[in-house]
Amino acid sequence: MQHDALASLIGHWKADPHSTYNTWFLWDERLKNFRSIRRGIGQVVREIEADEFGNVYRGSSLQTVVGSVAEQRQIFKGADHAFLWKPKLRIPDIYENTENQRAFARLLHTCDCCDSADAIVEAIRRIDALRIKGLGPAVANLLYFIHPTLVVPFNTAIVKGFNALTGGKVKLGRWDHYLSMRDGLIRLNERHRSQLSNDLGAIAGLMFDVGTGRYGVPPASSDATALQAWEADLQRVREESAVAQRQWLLEREGDASHTEIQACLRDLGLALGYDVWIAANDRGRAFGEGRLGDGCLAALPDGVAGGLDSVRLIDVLWISKEVRTVAAAFEVEHSTSIYSGIVRMLDLALGTELAVRAPLFLVAPDNRRQEVRQQLQRPAFSRVAELGIRYLPYSELQEHRGAIARFGSGIKPLMEISLLL
């Protein structure tokens, strides 16, 4: 394929508001989930090494983390299918076969601990040599969240897009073919780095959109008529995307509601006399006539984050002005995975020195109460009960925030309108 044609395709793709580049790659929640997914992978490894994983997928720590990956919008939709137990085929053979299960854990652990492409490729070749039935390149979707600059996501649409754009013949279900595709995409990414990203999720998203048929493959540059028609098709897709923008905005209403609740907690904390921290990647969001981070801390007090980036991504922290410790922490879970918010809370409570006794609140719509309860009861969150994470429904916060701001003192009113699950 000619360089100029692909550059043109990338330009149209990035300008398309309905492309994976804009709806997933630039999505704030994508970045916030990296830490939680990586931590979940570590939990899977620890349980397997301690012979505590069991022999079923349903209810396991693996289901929790794969489910979180599958929630990463359209590019990872169906990512959990490869890990579902197919009893008639007895695949993937990592539930009933202990040795295969341990080999799977070694792959995850090695990739989690290494920091080079060579080490990752070697770990993949070792698992491939074992020929574990049903355990193929879909695992790369987990490895991507460990090393997004070294590992490319993998699914049917990405493979179709790669083959269409490069003339490749990559087959599903084979690690050697996956590694070949990875090499090809890295070379392609290097040639177009100024338009793409060091994060290989960007070029994978482009392959996904081509593979699903959203964009046609550029014709040979020598065929002027075909090139003109192809450019017209790209423009048509862009115009159709403008129409589809309305539906996309409806999907993003959840983000707006999330921001409104953050602003409510911000204003309430300031009214009660606390300094307030807004998640690092949310501070610049437009809200009202200003930004969400207006009037809030520009940096966390020493010791609060404990060196963990995930703590800086907690939606709202109230900081005591006198002793500079966390007085309360809030994760707003409007529609995204509750799992990620819980992990950030655990990092705050268990990974820092100054916040261990701070009340921790999961703030969510009233209809998510049961979902919050189910997540907190997962084996992966065995430490949660002793931390006393509380559920604060939207309705209670919205109904009582005015009175709390006016007459309240400290955290006690929030304890009274929230529930211990």
Distance CA 329, CA 357 (A): 11
- Per-position DSSP letters for 354-415, written without gaps between them: S-TTS-EEEEE-GGGHHHHHHHHTSGGGTTHHHHT-EEEEHHHHHHHHHHHHHH--SSHHHH
pLDDT of res. 245: 47
Neighbours of 50 (CB within 10 A): 8
pTM across the whole model: 0.68
269-296 burial, b at 16+ Cβ within 10 Å, e below that, comes to beebebbbbbbbebbebebeeeebbeeb
Confidence of residue 248 (pLDDT cuts 50, 70, 90): very low
| pLDDT of the residue at 353 | 55
Q: E strands, 200-347, where?
A: 275-278, 286-287, 290-291, 316-319, 326-332
Residue % of the chain over a pLDDT of 90: 45
- For the purposes of burial, counting CB atoms within 10 Å of the CB of 202, is it exposed (0-12), middle (13-18) or buried (19 or more)? buried
Q: What is the pLDDT of residue 228?
A: 62
pLDDT at 88: 86
Q: What whole-number distance in Å separates Cα of residue 383 and Cα of residue 343?
A: 11
What are 22-79's pLDDT values in tens digits? Answer: 989 998 778 878 888 888 899 999 999 999 998 989 888 898 889 888 888 788 988 8
Provide DSSP, 237-263. Answer: HHHHHHHHHHHHHHHTHHHHHHHHHHH
Q: What is the pLDDT of residue 382?
A: 65
Mean pLDDT of all residues in 5-19 = 89
Q: Please give the backbone phi and psi of residue 316, each rounded to the nearest 5 degrees, phi first.
A: -145, 135
User: 385: pLDDT confidence band, cut at 50, 70 and 90?
Assistant: low
Q: ∠ CA(398), CA(399), CA(401), 5° rounding?
A: 65
Structure token digits, residue 392: 């604060």
At 256 the pLDDT is: 56
Work out the mean pLDDT of the chain and round it to a whole number: 84
Strand, helix or coil at 276? strand
| CA–CA separation, 168 and 308 (whole Å) | 41
Q: What is the mean pLDDT of residues 214-222?
A: 72
